[in-house]
Amino acid sequence: MASYASILFSMILVNNFVLVKFLGICPFLGVSKKFDSAVGMGCAVTLVMVLAIAVTWPIQQLLYAWGLEYLQTIAFILVIATLVQLLEMAIKRYLPPLHASLGVFLPLITTNCAVLGVAILTIDEGYTYPEALVAGLGAGLGFLLAMVIFSGVRRRVEEAEPPEVFQGMPITLISAAITAMSFMGFSGVIDHLFGA
Amino acid sequence: MAANPSLTTDEPTLANTFSKGLLEENPALRQMLGLCPTLAVTTAVTNGLGMGMATTFVLVCSGVVVSLLRKAIPSSVRIPAFITIIASFVTLVMMLVKAYLPALDEALGIYLPLIVVNCIVLGRAEMFASKHGPLQAAADGAGMGLGFTISLSLMSAIREVLGAGTFLGVRVLPPFVEPMIIMVMPAGGFAVLGLLIAASVYLEQHPRHKHKVVKRSTQPSASLCAACPINCGIGDPTNEECAKDEFVEMLEAAVAAAKKEKEGDA
């Protein structure tokens, strides 16, 4: 149990996908302007990450069995793209209210490096199936946390008046740097909590 | 935006196609594409260079193949087809790097397969290669790739010198200068990129710093310019003439309509 908790919290805080591993920067900078869309995007990414791992982990075992490990990248990206499409159709059909809130974000996720990244990362780390699923959940929650925190930071930044050349992207990146700095403080926490 | 054959008639010269990726439409600094690898691997110059070259290879090869197949791929399935083509070349690069440069493979790690989802590669396939001939596509891929490599190298040079005190592994800072570890940490990546983009904006706004007149990229503000009645083509949000937003325009239109109505009454 401790190992699952350790994986979960290290994925959320220490190895935060956005602020430490730099995966999923495009949605992080693009969709974090409003709180609502930040939450929607974060939830959609979490959902897709867990589902993607649920599908890609068994596929990787098949690739190992057939000696086709070099096809990993192609297989994963195609499976994830298909999965996102199917998920969007299924949500549209069976859960229309959810589609209204998450639907617009799903197509954006297909080529999101965070999803492919977490799928490859769990394979590289040699996690077991349940461990991989927990890691996916942690990565998604970490993404959600970063999005929510940063959308709050950005609202303050919007009201401020930076020098002309810093307006827009530069000031956003610099506030992201300060947010990332706060996450540096977590790096020792997991070791002390779980003795991992 | 399906592949439109009518667009191929007005071909720019190869040199123009190549050079626009270097500055004008530099992927990382101007178009803000492919920021994940830009931030993640630029802790050392060798990593930045290696990543840039791997991406360039994928850009050129996938550009040529997409361009050759542009008439054969139905537009409804073009995105999955492009992704498959790109993923094949990424797999090729991964195998080459693993075989000949194992140290680079170790350093780039997960970011090497993630070239697949780099928005630059898919973006160029969709916006350029699927509408132009193979030579043009190769020039575009090479230009964009080189521009990307330059910005990656610049960023990794700054981060390596400040953060580790070395350049290409050789110590350049005098021993009494303590390296700023934060520069090679994630926070430093965001900060350096923010400063670099601010610097490129500054250089653009102050023409005397420019050697050549670089045409202003209209990419981010094309819609702004289209909506603007003056349509000066500058696309400068700081320019008052250009900064008229939709609300002001609506207001002006309403005032004009009211005036007309009054005149009609009179």
Condensed to tens digits (0 to 9), the pLDDT of residues A30-53 reads 778 888 888 888 888 898 899 999
Chain A CA closest to residue B84 = A74
What confidence score (pLDDT) does residue B233 get? 41
Whether B4 is covered by a domain: the verdict is no
Whether B166 is covered by a domain: the verdict is yes
Please tell me whether residues B95 and B123 are part of one structural domain: yes
Q: Which of B36, B94, B206 to mutate to test the interface with A (most CBs of A within 10 A)?
A: B36
Given A21, A71, A73, which is nearest B116 (Cβ)? A73
> Considering the entire predicted model, what is its pTM?
0.76
Please tell me whether residues B191 and B228 are part of one structural domain: no
- CA dist., res. A6 & res. A9, Å (int): 5
Burial of A154 (0-12, 13-18, 19+ CB in 10 A): buried
What confidence score (pLDDT) does residue B243 get? 46
Beta pairing, strands B170-171 & B166-167: antiparallel
What confidence score (pLDDT) does residue B214 get? 45
CA dihedral defined by A18, A20, A23, A28, rounded to 10 degrees? 20
What confidence score (pLDDT) does residue A132 get? 93
Q: Mean pLDDT in runs of 10 for chain B (266 residues)?
A: 44 79 77 81 89 93 93 85 91 92 88 86 87 90 92 90 83 80 85 88 69 44 44 43 56 76 69
Residue A22 falls in which region: left (phi positive, over 0), alpha (psi -120 to 50) or beta: left
What's the rounded mean pLDDT across residues A153-175? Answer: 86
Given B109, B117, B191, which is nearest A174 (Cβ)? B191
Confidence tier at A194 by pLDDT (50, 70, 90): low
Write out pLDDT tens, residues A72-130: 889 998 898 888 888 888 888 888 877 777 766 777 677 678 888 899 989 988 899 99
Query: pLDDT averaged over chain A?
Result: 85
User: A28 CA to chain B: closest CA distance, Å?
Assistant: 10
Domain boundary among B188, B209, B230: B209
Please tell me whether residues B112 and B234 are part of one structural domain: no
What confidence score (pLDDT) does residue B60 get? 94
Please tell me whether residues B134 and B67 are part of one structural domain: yes
Mark A45-60 as b/e (b = at least 16 C-beta within 10 Å): bbbbbbbbbeebbebb
ipTM of the modeled complex: 0.82
What's the rounded mean pLDDT across residues A148-174? Answer: 86
- CA dist., res. B144 & res. B210, Å (int): 21
Chain A CA closest to residue B190 = A177
What confidence score (pLDDT) does residue A137 get? 94
- Cβ separation B189–A22 shorter than 8 A: yes
Please tell me whether residues B188 and B126 are part of one structural domain: yes
Tell me which residue range forms the domain holding B234: 222-265
User: A114 CA to chain B: closest CA distance, Å?
Assistant: 9
Please tell me whether residues B202 and B152 are part of one structural domain: yes
Best CA proximity match to A147, nearest among A187, A114, A188, A118: A114
Please tell me whether residues B228 and B198 are part of one structural domain: no
Q: What is the SS3 assignment for B167?
A: strand
User: What sign results for the dihedral spanned by CA atoms A8, A12, A17, A20?
Assistant: negative
* Domains of chain A, residue spans: 18-185
User: B105 CA to chain A: closest CA distance, Å?
Assistant: 13
Please tell me whether residues B200 and B72 are part of one structural domain: yes
Please tell me whether residues B47 and B125 are part of one structural domain: yes
Whether B5 is covered by a domain: the verdict is no
What confidence score (pLDDT) does residue A37 get? 81
Chain B CA closest to residue A20 = B186
Amino acid sitting at position A28: F
Please tell me whether residues B157 and B236 are part of one structural domain: no
Mark B24-42 as b/e (b = at least 16 C-beta within 10 Å): bbbbbbbbbbbbbbbbbbb
Q: Would you give the distance in Å from CA B103 to the centre of its chain?
A: 27
Whether B189 is covered by a domain: the verdict is yes
Site of tokens 């290409």: B168
Please tell me whether residues B228 and B130 are part of one structural domain: no
Best CA proximity match to A166, nearest among B195, B51, B127: B195
Give me A49's structure tokens.
């990450």
Cα angle value B43/B45/B48 (rounded, 5°): 75
Do A76 and A184 meet the contact criterion of CB atoms below 8 Å apart? no
What confidence score (pLDDT) does residue B43 get? 86
- CA dist., res. B151 & res. B26, Å (int): 8
Integer CA distances (angstroms), B133 to A87, A170, B10, B81, B138, in order: 36, 36, 12, 18, 9
Count up the domains in chain B and report the number.
2
Do B194 and A171 meet the contact criterion of CB atoms below 8 Å apart? yes
B243 CB near a chain A CB, below 8 Å? no
Measured between beta carbons, the chain B residues lying within 8 angstroms of A21 are 40, 186
What confidence score (pLDDT) does residue A136 get? 92
User: B136 CA to chain A: closest CA distance, Å?
Assistant: 25
Please tell me whether residues B99 and B140 are part of one structural domain: yes
Given A113, A169, A176, which is nearest B117 (Cβ)? A113
- Cβ separation B80–A81 shorter than 8 A: yes
Chain A CA closest to residue B194 = A170
